[in-house]
Amino acid sequence: MQNSIRGRLIATVVLSQTLLAAGLLFAGVYYTHRRLLMTLDAGMQARAMSVAALVRYTEDASGNVYFDNTLMPQSLDPSHPDLFAVWTQRSGLLTRSGNWPSGLEIPPTGARYWDFAWHDIPYRALRATQLPVLDREEGKSFQPQTLTIVYASPMVRMEEQVREAGIFIALASFGLLVATVLLALWGIGRGLRPLQQLAGQAALVSADNWQLRVPKHAEQMEELRPLTQSMTTMLARLERSFIQQREFMGNAAHELKTPVAVLKSTLQSLLQRPRTSEEYQAGLEHSLEDLERLEQLLQWMLRLARAEQWAHGALRRDLQVIDLNTTCEEAVERIRNLAEVRHTQIHLSTNGPVPLRADPEDLQLVWTNLLENAIRYSPEDAAVEVAVGRTGDGRARVVVEDHGPGIAAADLPHVFERFYRGDPSRTRATGGFGLGLAIAKALVEAYGGSITADRTPGQGTQMTVELPARDR
Amino acid sequence: MRVLIVEDEPRLAENIARSLRESAGYAVDIAADGQEGLFLAESNAYDVVLLDLMLPHMDGMQMLTRLRQSGQHTPVLVLTARDDKESVVALLNAGADDYLTKPFDLGELLARTKVLIRRGKGQPSPVLTIGDLELNTVNRTVQRAGRPISLTAMEYRVLEYLAHRPRAVVSKTELLEHLYDYNWEKFSNVIEVYISGLRRKLDDGSARQLIHTVRGQGYILQE
């Protein structure tokens, strides 16, 4: 119930309807009670007046009064007759009804109406004071008397009527509640149908079919539009990264299989027949070399995976503001061994500090990859130039330029693809795996920068990296 | 038998070559790229070509297509790292006879190579029979009328080649071409020695001679 939209909506409907019904019941009962009480009070007042009318003066001139019982009207509720008592100002209690309760307490003067119970029957009483004796004949010389009348009527009938009204309102509310719940159930079911259709279509999406066919009703539904839109864009994103991942897996498998094939064949041919210890030694040394190459490949692949995760992920580490020149200097320092082996001169030219927000490790990795690439594809004794500066619009720029044969025009668009190598035969000669530039690109793009490769045939290759920089 | 390996990973090529030489007694040539491979395949008589796909200068697929276009029907066994359906279909359609995915088992490579050689010469069974002579190419044993015959490695290689082409005249040059790798000329005078050795061992105690000399043309293995 708690975890269902339908359940929650129905619960809300039931709750609000119940509150409404309770309020209605209370208001209805209160109003009925008040109206009936007013009617009862008015009736009692009229009856008190008619009791007063039965008080008459005696024929003599004493000015005494008597109560003429013969004309007393019948009570409205014969099973619970009304009570009354009449006092005169002069001589006290004049009369009272036969059923007047002996110990009835009359509240001190002031209260005009009050309720009491007698023999478990609720009564409402009225005290009328200063009533004149209506029987007043002309020419009488005595002082006219005033009366105090207490008149009480049972409230049994009134309470019954209030109860009936209450029961009626409650029953009507319950009927309405049931009808509302049924209507709400039907309406919610209808309202949720586009969602079910959407779910049905979403279930058809798989690694082979990335197309989400949004049902017409769901498309038109205003509340579902954000959902369908984000599903569609999410699927497009997922498809892209899935395809990329699959390509990478294919390439990686291919790249891994060759060194494994070499290793396996070395060991199998070693085991084919008994060998001399020199042959075993040579075989094991070869195996170790192949294994090391495999290990290197794995390291590069992991580095690429990390760089791409970093590039795709939104997680931003706490980045310090660093100087671009320092990262380049350190990268040049790191690559010095390789440069010395190949007799390559690295010239670093800087032009004032270029502060930017980055992890220095990431940038050093980019520069070492670019430098390594430049050195590998340069002839011996050549020079590699690194120029650090800013673009016209204030972005940081690093250009790594070599004087090798230059990348073939056909390879230029592909150099940043993973595992791409212009000439596969060069791989083993130069020792690359075709991942360095892909890693550089992933990292540069993670920082919102761009990387491009240009060539001058016969003169070399320029790799240009531009990164968002901070103002001086 | 003579095999060409076209593979740019030198250590892998060397390992395959060693295995084929040691376990099957085949002569093996190695080409490190597609161009060299195509040149060797077109200028020499190979009994099977083992072809890697990722090759410098001319990739394996191109080389295979060119080889088939030039009318060569030497069986080709492709060594590939890709085993998805599309690449396999493309390979077979380009004229490959079989394929093995890397990393492969050297034993399986050897067995498949033998199958391709046999099929290329129209021999369905791994046990070749000529009259009462039986040559088992799997465990490299020879029997005549149920009697095991012990041969030297070179004698076996000569007999194996002849047995793959029974009742056909095989010239000395053809034998040399298929039994030695590219520097076979220097062995040209030793074929007679192996033939006479074989004759002595095979025909010992039998009424009928199996290896005949066709004067000026070569040798023939028949009843």
pLDDT of B181 over the 90 cut = no
**Which part of chain A is CATH 1.10.287?**
252-312
Chain B touched by A423 (CB under 8 Å): yes
Looking at residue A417, its pLDDT comes to 81
Between B8, B22, B82, which is nearest A272 by CB?
B22
Where does A89-237 show beta strands of DSSP type E?
Answer: 92-96, 113-118, 121-132, 146-154
Indicate whether B49 pLDDT > 90. yes
Is B19 close to A264, i.e. CB distance below 8 A? no
A320-467, what's its fold? Heat Shock Protein 90 (3.30.565)
Q: What tokens does A128 get? A: 């009328």
Does the pLDDT value for residue A427 go beyond 70? Answer: no
Q: Predicted confidence band at A426 (pLDDT cuts at 50, 70, 90)?
A: very low
Q: Which is nearest to B113 in space by CA: B193, B216, B5, B11?
A: B5
Would you say A344 and A380 are in contact if contact means Cβ atoms under 8 Å apart? yes
Q: Report the C-alpha gap between A359 and B186 in whole angstroms.
A: 67
Q: Between chains, do B12 and A265 touch, taking CB under 8 Å as contact? A: yes
Phi, psi torsion values for A242, nearest 5 degrees: -65, -45
Average pLDDT over residues A199-226: 84
Mean pLDDT in chain A?
A: 84
Tell me what pLDDT residue A207 has: 80
Mean pLDDT of A109-126: 85
Picking from A429, A264, A279, the residue whose alpha carbon sits closest to that of residue B32 is A429
User: Which DSSP symbol is given to B123?
Assistant: -
At residue A316, the pLDDT reads: 59
pTM of the model: 0.60
Looking at mean pLDDT, say which of A207-221, A359-373, B66-80 comes out highest: B66-80
Least CA distance to A427: which residue of chain B? B56
- For chain B, report the end-to-end CA distance as a whole number of angstroms: 23
Query: Average pLDDT in the A179-205 region?
Result: 89
Non-local (6+) Cβ contacts of A296 within 8 A are A433
What pLDDT sits at residue B110? 93
- Give CA–CA dist B198/B150, Å, rounded: 10
Q: Which residue has the higher pLDDT, A189 or B75?
A: B75
> What is the rounded CA–CA span in Å between residue A43 and residue A32?
16
Residue A153 in tokens: 């009527």
Confidence of residue A424 (pLDDT cuts 50, 70, 90): low
CATH 3.30.450 range(s) for chain A read: 5-163
Q: Is A199 helix (H, G, I), strand (E, B) or coil?
A: helix
Using one digit for the tens of pLDDT, what is the confidence trace for A164-179?
999 999 999 999 999 9
> What's the confidence (pLDDT) of residue A394?
84
Give Cα A328 to chain centroid, integer Å: 46
* Of the candidates B95, B90, B97, B94, the residue with the CA atom closest to the CA atom of residue B114: B97
Cα angle, residue B65 at apex, residues B63 and B67 outer, rounded to 5°: 65
More confident residue, B83 or B110: B110
Task: Please report the number of interchain residue pairs, chain A to chain B, with beta-carbon separation below 8 angstroms.
Answer: 74
Chain A nearest CA to B199, separation (Å): 30
Tokens of A361: 């490790």
Every domain of chain A with CATH number 3.30.565.10 lies at 320-467
DSSP labels, B23-46? HH--EEEEESSHHHHHHHHHHS--
Q: Is A428 on the interface with B (CB under 8 A)?
A: yes
pLDDT score at A357: 85
pLDDT of residue B183: 65
Across the range A139-151, mean pLDDT stands at 79
Q: What is the mean pLDDT of residues A105-113?
A: 77
Please give the helix or strand (H or E) that residue B50 lies within, else none. strand B48-52
Structure confidence at residue A472 (pLDDT): 59
The structure tokens 């839109």 sit at A229
* Cα(A308)–Cα(A312) distance, integer angstroms: 6
What spatial distance separates the first Cα and last Cα of chain A, rounded to whole Å? 61
In this complex, the residue of A265, A423, A424 whose CB is nearest that of residue B15 is A265
The residues pairing with B76 across neighbouring beta strands, listed in sequence order, are B49
Give the side-chain half-sphere CA count within 13 A for A226.
1
Query: Residue B206: pLDDT above 80?
Result: no
Percent of chain A surpassing pLDDT 70: 94
A227 and B69 Cβ atoms separated by less than 8 Å: no
Residue pair A44/A83 in contact by the 8 Å Cβ criterion: no
Fold entry, domain A5-163: Beta-Lactamase (3.30.450)
pLDDT classification of A258: cutoffs 50, 70, 90:
confident
Distance CA A248, CA B218 (A): 57
Best to test chain B binding among A265, A268, A297 (most B CBs inside 10 Å): A265
Question: Which tokens go with B125?
Answer: 């069974």
CB atoms within 10 A of CB A224: 19
Among the partner-chain residues A253, A262, A423, the one whose CB lies closest to the CB of B12 is A262
Token pair recorded at residue B57? 């200068």
- Reply yes or no on whether the pLDDT at A233 is more than 80: yes
**Domain A252-312, CATH class in plain words:** mainly alpha
Average pLDDT over residues B70-94: 88
**Residues of chain A positioned with their CB less than 8 A from the CB of B104:** 261, 264-265
Mean pLDDT of B91-100: 92
What does the alpha-carbon distance between residue A185 and residue A17 come to, in Å, rounded to a whole number?
A: 14
Chain B residue with Cα closest to A268? B106
Count of beta carbons in the 10 Å neighbourhood of residue A388: 23
Mean pLDDT of A336-353: 88
Question: Structural domains in chain B?
Answer: 2-120 (3.40.50.2300), 127-221 (1.10.10.10)
Beta bridge partners of A462: A401, A454
The yes-or-no verdict on residue A254 having pLDDT over 80 is: no
